[in-house]
A and B are shown apart, each in its own frame.
Chain A
Amino acid sequence: MKMGGAMNYKNKMMLLVISAVFGLGLAGQVAAGAADGGKPLMLADVSSANTFNLNLKKAKNPNAPPWEDGIHDTANEATFNLQPPLEAYKGLPKTSFGNHVDWVKALDQGLIKPRWDRLDSNEEPFVMDLDIVRPVKASVPDVVFPHRQHTEWLLCSNCHPAIFIPQKGANQINMSAILLGKKCGVCHGKVSFPVETKTCKKCHSKPKPADWKPPLSEATLKNPWK
């Protein structure tokens, strides 16, 4: 038995080596096809849309300096005079999305002191501490909208009444609208924290009661499943 096991292992190794050599040869053939000026054989003559996990690529260098970020021109000398974000983010609380900085926490902890007035660094915002709870039809937790964090950064007139009518029940909001840049999506998903799986619970933060059950759809009510 023991002997047989060893043989098997040896056989497997042989097979592995042979297939590796064969693979190399095949790759060589492909390259040779292009080199000989004959019919060019592309290694992957397909759209890169077909690559595996295209959307799951993690940025290797998430807070790249301007000269490596892909939108600044490196032929422009001043690009190298711009501040790299990581230099500015030193000591600020981290997140795993957006700029990878928790801006609200940074402000709350006094780690950044952005001016409320263009010129006067002593002027303070008018902060309103009022939470709005918005029930959600689906099974995800209900939304709690905190005015406090928002009035730290913004004036009432930034949102009211153009984006949100300041009246209970007057604002129809859904995730499609937000994803397309309307309602909360005017800022969230662009400049304030992004709209992605990791951030769902930042808004959807009030769990449903323990006895909550999702409402049955009309189609199911009319034709109950037997």
Chain B
Amino acid sequence: MALKNERDFAFKSLLLGVLLTLGLMGVSQQSKAEYADIVINNYADAAGMRPAVFPHWFHRIRFRCKVCHADLGFKFKAGGNEITMAKIIDGQFCGACHNGEVAWSVENCAMCHSGIPGTPTHFHGSTLQRLVAPAYKPLDAKKASKK
């Protein structure tokens, strides 16, 4: 009898632990990406590629904003530049540097196309994102997505 109670208790605490962990995971579903990281998924998902991730922090150490946003014609709008691989291999947008001369060349597909599939185009950590899309998911939404 005592043994059964002990086993019962162990089982119950295990279950409680699992439930608690699941609950906490549901609450803290925030990504910790760098401020100003951009996910670009205009066409990638539809073409069977992972979305591209652009890290502003990495590039601003090497170039002033002006190089891309004035000389190369990147608009100040995430996903608003309609970048395609065809344009890149023609030397436009990313292709102005990612050509094997200034920076590594386009055959390193997975260096840019490294985002989690299905991630929408967004500007990570932007004020607008924090205002209109609070980073939480209801618990039942998580349950539903698991099924």
Contacts and interface: CB of A to CB of B under 8 A. Distances in A.
A181 B128 contact: yes
Contacts of B133: none
Interface in A196-213: 196
A158 B91 CA distance: 22
A72 B65 contact: no
A35 B12 contact: yes
Contacts of A145: none
Interface in A25-82: 27-28, 30-32, 34-35, 42-49, 51, 54-55, 57, 59-64, 66, 68-73, 76-79, 81-82
Contact of B65 (A73, A154, A185, A195): A154
Given A116-B64, A119-B102, A190 B32 contact: no
Interface string A107-121: 000001011111100
A144 interface: no
A72 B138 CA distance: 23
B15 A34 contact: yes
Contacts of A68: 32
Nearest to B108: A78
10 contacts: A27-B16, A43-B20, A48-B136, A70-B32, A72-B114, A76-B114, A88-B61, A114-B62, A125-B64, A154-B70
A152 B136 contact: no
A31 B110 contact: no
B59 to A, nearest CB: 9
Contact of B60 (A34, A114, A157, A181): A114
Nearest to A190: B126
Interface string B59-88: 011111111011110001000000000000
Interface magnitude class on chain B: 35 or more
Contact of B37 (A48, A71, A196): A71
B33 A154 contact: no
A112 B136 CA distance: 36
Given A31-B19, A49-B136, A115 B34 contact: no
B128 A189 contact: yes
Contact of B32 (A34, A54, A62, A152): A62
B94 interface: no
A194 interface: yes
B15 A73 contact: no
A133 interface: no
Given A190-B123, A190-B127, 7 more contacts: A51-B27, A57-B30, A70-B30, A70-B31, A118-B96, A158-B65, A191-B56
